Structures are given as structure tokens and as C-alpha cells.
Amino acid sequence: MKDARLSKFVLWSFAALIVFPYRPAAAQVNTKPVNGRVVIPVDDDIAAFGGDDGAPVKGGIALRSSGGELAQRLQRAVKSGLVPIVLPIAGEEGHGNNRSSDDAFNVQVNDPTLDHIVTFDPTVVKTRPFEFSTQSETSAVRDGRHVVVGYNSSAGSEVQFFPGFGLAFTRLQFSGFSTSHDAGRTWTSGFVPPVSNDAPFTFGDPSLAIDRHGNIFYASLGTDAQGLHNTIIINKSTDHGSSFGPATVAAVDDGADKEWLAIGPDPTARSRDNIYVTWTSFITNAKGQTIGSQLRLARSTDGGQTFSQKVLFAPVDDGTNSSFIQFSNPVVDASTGRLYVPFLHFSDMDADNVRVLVSDDGGQTLRFLAFNAPGAIDSFAFPNVTPGLLNDCAGGGIRNALVAGADQGGGRFGLPRFKQATRLISQPHAAAGHGVFAFVLNSSTSPFLGDPTAGSEIRLVLSTNGGQTFATPFGVAASTAADPQHVHPFLSLSTNGRTLTVSYYVQQADKRLRTDVATLKTEHGELQVEQTAPLSTTAFDLTPSNVVRTPTATSNYDRTVVSCYDIGEYQTLTGPGGEANDDGVIAAWGDNRRTWTSPAGSPAAGTHSQPDVFSVKVDH
């Protein structure tokens, strides 16, 4: 076994030296630059949300999220002048056969009637169907009986054909939301508005937060008013999430990706809430090559009207630590106003490292917390190996993934190419309150990245004294023969700081997925599991997200999103908020229990699973 793992490690280390070049097809076609309508060009074998143009790390694992990839694609298209002025031809629109069944406990959050299929007359344009039916990757807030869940959604898409130009997305609002005013029993759905109707695009990666007055803020990726630059945008709701106002630009950054939002009292001006947004900014050189990424912060002290910006951390590759960071997750301890910013710092080895910045002056100055973890590369690093099998997702990169079904074969570097796959990341989801600071991670059971024999577990890292010291990492869920994989956890902390709730996905031995939840208590600095139970009332299959179309190309059945994108990259829990007592939390997650029938011409023609968003109330 040791020799086998060593040979695998050598292979992956060799692959890490390869930069998979990616040029979007739209930028390669011989199209005359014109001025007119802002659109996103469509290519038959490149997803709108996709492309292996993220920085390749550890065998070509692209670091960008789906939203960041699409934002880059639009920016290139607009700057190249690829915007048509001719009148478009609309395709024929219909609704898919979304088969549903009643569920007494879990409730579907997204409105399935918004999902749709667009086809075109083959005498006008030869192209496969567009199946806009993906919803996943949730973030939520709750104010008493009012609950708002944000999620990625391809249902807010419109595609048209422009003679002499080709197919293009004329609207793509990927930042969806659903609102309940009865504590999660019934829901209405919509899409947050863009900055301008002249560039009707939002790119998802939702992160929601609420201030003390009940104003709800929704952060996501977007564009400026002309579609020329990528932005971090904020939408605000003053009516408990019934509607959201036009987007405000918190930061203009062409390399922006994976933003996260936190709101809490300023440490010195306690009557004022500060709004904090952190994100990853990818850095390119003069040749357009991605050479690193930075952790950045935007802060508002006037309720989101204006934002100041700064760089928090700009890593340099030293042969051990890489020049890339991702997946920040800021949180505020409301009892003190202390800001914590955990994030993942990629290394040049198998294990990457969580680092945590902390500020006691509202984000003006920050310092690193020390873990002093055994075997770590330095005292400020908490090492972690991302779980999952390395799977060739073609244009979506070589990704850590949960997989099911048979290997289709033909993967690069001898790696598998599973049709049913969902890509994995390691975002340290955190919570803070009353001096308690904690985060959760999915961790491989192997010290080697991509070990096909490895399982995965959920670990919780806890400090009860504001990060001065940390307890030994606590195992929330362990790998077993029946349930080998546990991924994408989320952490919620009760208002008194004593109860921690952790939700996560479980892949069973039969390769189906479910969601579980664990409730833990802190007593005298020690953690105890009170109970572990299922969240989802049924297990579900992975979708056909990585279907081989040519020897070098794969496709998601929903061609809007990148290959191997399925359940998303995070789920959510949200406490009662408002004047409510600690009566439990609302959980929301990406769930594939519903079926979808893809039409003829689809790479996944026939009936299969579909990504939706489901929720349930979790009682303590």
C-alpha cells in the first residue's frame, strides 16, 4: 500500500507541473467586433459557467468557483467586442418533466416551475437543448418566522440566436433566492436584480447576512453597469426578503471570486453594524497567466451605501506554501465585535492549511491566530487534506469529487472520468459568539490527496477563549463501511454560544447521498455530541454532470454550468434571529431527489436526478 500511494503521489506531483491552457471558444471565433447588446457567447462544448482557466493547483484542480469562471468569460467577451447588434431569434421554450412527490418533512425551497428547456429549429441553428434546471449551493438568514435562502440557479437564464453571430445568453441571473414568511413551510422564489438591466447578469456564489434592524443583505458575483468589469455586488431587502433592491457594487475586481459576507457590531462604536465582505482576487501577469491570488476585504460602516477596500493577505510561493488562497468565511462575535476571517491557504504538498485572521478594531488591523498544530508547517497553519477522488472533468479541470456509476474512460493522466460526479472543496465554515470561535472541515482519511482508497470525515476545531488556544480537533462524523464519505459541512452556533449544530453530506456505500445533522454542546470547554440524525428524508443519486461528448470534452446535462458541478460547494444553517428563542435552526441544502427528463439531443437524454434546494427545521 505504501508503494502504491507513493507512485500515485509521483503521478499527481507530475501533473501539478502542467498548466492546462484554456481559451474560451467565443474569443477564438472570427467575429467582427461591434457595439450593441451585452451578451455572453455560447459554445456547444464549453459551459457558460465553466472553463479550466482557474489556477491549476495539485494536478490541475481549478480554484475558481462556477460564478467566477462565468464572470471571467463575460469580461473577455465584452472587451473583445463580441456583442451583437442584429435582432435575435428566440428558441422554443418548454417546461421539463420535473417529477415530484409530497414529503411531510422536507420542503422544496426553489420553485420548480421556473425550470425550463429551450430548443432551436435545427434548420436555423444546430445545437443541443438548453436545460435550465440546476439549483444548489445555499446560504440563508432567518428573522423569526421570516427565512430567506439564496442559491445558485440556472433557471434565470435566457438564450437567443443572433444571425451572423451565433448563440448567446441575453440574460443570466444565477443569483436566486426563495423566501418564507411562515418559518419554512411555504416558499416563493425569485432572482436578485443586477447592477443594470443593460448587463443583466449575476453569477451566484450567494452569501446572506442580516443586521440588527432586520435588513437582509445578499452578496454575490456580478458585473458593472456596462458588463466591462467583474464585481462583488450587494443586494438589500428591507421587507423580510419579499424583494431585493438593485445591486450595489462593493468592489470592482476582474479577478474576484468566492465572496463571503458577515455583519456585526463595530468593536468601538457598538451601536453601529459593520458589513464585511471578503473574497479571493486572482492575479494575472502581463501574459494573462494566473500566477496567484489574494485575500481581500471590503467594509461598509454606513449600511452598505459605500465600501472601503484593502488587501488582507498576499501569499508568495516559497516552495512549501503556494501563492494561492481561496474559500474565506468571515464571522463576527456579536458579544465583542471581534472579526474572524478563516480561509484556505494552498500548499505545494498534499495537505493545505487553514489560516485565521482576527481583528478587534473593525477590520482596520488584523493578526493571525496560532494553532500550534502537531506536524503543521508553521504555528499559524492548521493542515487539512481535501477529500475525494481525482476525476477528469475536462473543461472543468481535474477535480476532487464524489463519484458514482462507471468510469467512462479516457481521462487525462490515466485518471477516471465518471459521468456522475460532484466536485469538492475545503472551505472552513465558521461561527463565533460569547468568546467561542469554531470552524468545521471535510477531511480525507488519507495523508495523500486524491487517494482512491480514502474516506472522509467532518472535523470541528474549537476555541472557547476567543482563539487564544484551540482544543484537539473533534470528530463530528467518521468514515465507516456503510458511510465512507462526509463532505461540505456547515456550522451554526446558538445565541448563547453553547450549542453547535453541524450539517453535512454523507455518501453511502451504495454511492447515493443524504444530508445529516449533529448537535453538540460545550461544557467547561469540552464538546459532547447530543445527537446525530438525518436531515434529508431520502437518499439521492448524483446527476449526469460529466457526460463524455468527444474524446476531449465532457458536459453537464445542464449546459449552463461546468462539468462536475452538482450539489454545489456549501450548504447552510440559520438560527431563529429576531426576538425568537433558541427554538432550533432552519437547514437548506442542494438535493437531487426529484427527477428530470432530458429531451432527445441532450447528452443525458432520458430521466435522471436533478439538483434542487430542500429545507427542514432542526429542533435542538
pLDDT digits (tens, 9 = 90+) for 353-385: 999 999 999 999 999 999 999 999 999 999 999
236 in any annotated domain:
yes
275 in the same domain as 244: no
141 and 220 fall within a common domain: yes
Q: Has residue 494 been placed in a domain?
A: no
- In this structure, the answer to whether residues 52 and 115 fall within a common structural domain is yes
pLDDT surpasses 90 at 52: no
Q: Is residue 492 part of a domain?
A: no
Domain range for 323: 266-349+351-384
Count of CB atoms within 10 A of residue 117's CB? 21
| Domain membership flag for residue 311 | yes
Looking at the fold, whether 195 and 284 belong to one and the same domain comes out as: no
Q: Cα-flanking dihedrals φ and ψ of residue 114, to 5°?
A: -80, -20
Residues 207 and 339 in one domain: no
SS3 sequence of 436-447 = EEEEEEEEECCC
Q: Which whole number is the average pLDDT over 145-167?
A: 93
Residue 360 domain-assigned (yes or no): yes
Give the per-residue pLDDT at 620.
63
Q: Which of 359, 384, 409 is the last residue of a domain?
A: 384
Look at residue 475 and tell me if it is in a domain: no
Same domain for 73 and 139, yes or no, is yes
Q: Are residues 216 and 291 in the same domain?
A: no
Closest CA to 504 of 517, 494, 513, 492: 517
Among 384, 406, 438, the domain boundary falls at 384
Among 79-93, 457-471, 496-510, 526-540, the minimum mean pLDDT is found in 79-93
Which of 384, 402, 432 marks a domain boundary? 384
CB 223 within 8 A of CB 77: no
Answer yes or no: is 112 within a domain: yes
Task: Place 228 in a pLDDT band, splitting at 50, 70 and 90.
Answer: confident
Q: Once rounded to an integer, what is the mean pLDDT over residues 508-534? A: 92
Band (pLDDT 50/70/90 cuts) for residue 33 is very low
In angstroms, how far apart are the furthest CA atoms of the chain?
Answer: 72
Please state the domain count of the chain: 2
Whether residue 79 sits in one domain with residue 214: yes
Q: Is residue 296 located within the same domain as residue 335?
A: yes
Please tell me whether residues 285 and 213 are part of one structural domain. Answer: no
Overall average pLDDT of the 119-126 stretch = 93
Confidence band for 7, pLDDT divided at 50, 70 and 90: very low
Alpha-carbon distances, residue 182 vs 76, 105, 143, 179, 242 (angstroms): 44, 15, 11, 9, 12
Q: Does 542 map to a domain?
A: no
195 with 80, same domain: the answer is yes
Both 57 and 195 in a single domain?
yes
pLDDT tier for residue 59 given thresholds of 50, 70 and 90: very low
Q: In the predicted model, what is the mean pLDDT of residues 576-597?
A: 80
Element at 9 (helix H, strand E): helix 2-15
Percent of the chain with pLDDT over 70: 86
